[in-house]
Amino acid sequence: DQQVKQNSPSLSVQEGRISILNCDYTNSMFDYFLWYKKYPAEGPTFLISISSIKDKNEDGRFTVFLNKSAKHLSLHIVPSQPGDSAVYFCAASANFGNEKLTFGTGTRLTIIP
């Protein structure tokens, strides 16, 4: 049973528009959420995180929103750039820790020039 779900395997967005990637989780013990970005032939790299005491965290073009009641988080990228084309993984952990991360299956984002 997948505890972290990314239901969209792929997403295409025009350059300059907003990209919205979604993630749902089922484990109510999760209190720390992360987004990773992965290019081909490279390992995942950390992008942004949010703890359950917040509902929004912003870092430049990237904003993560957390809706605890819906057990849903989303990553907004605006404006989208060609270099944002990658696979994005959502991950979650309990106890605000980074030791045991549970990952989703990823969403492949393609930015169309």
Partner 1 sequence: ETGVTQTPRHLVMGMTNKKSLKCEQHLGHNAMYWYKQSAKKPLELMFVYNFKEQTENNSVPSRFSPECPNSSHLFLHLHTLQPEDSALYLCASSQVGAGAPSGDTQYFGPGTRLTVL
Which stretches of the chain bind partner 1, using CB under 8 A?
2, 4, 9, 32, 34, 36, 41-46, 49, 51, 89, 96-106
Report the nearest approach of partner 1 to the CB of residue 17 (Å): 27
| Of 51 and 67, CB closest to partner 1 | 51
Report the nearest approach of partner 1 to the CB of residue 77 (Å): 18
- CA dist 49 to 12, 31, 33, Å? 23, 11, 6
What's the CA gap between 6 and 22, in Å, rounded? 6
| Of 80 and 109, CB closest to partner 1 | 109
Smallest CA-to-CA distance from 72 within 104, 40, 45, 43 is with 104
Partners of residue 48 on adjacent β-strands: 35
| Of 43 and 113, CB closest to partner 1 | 43
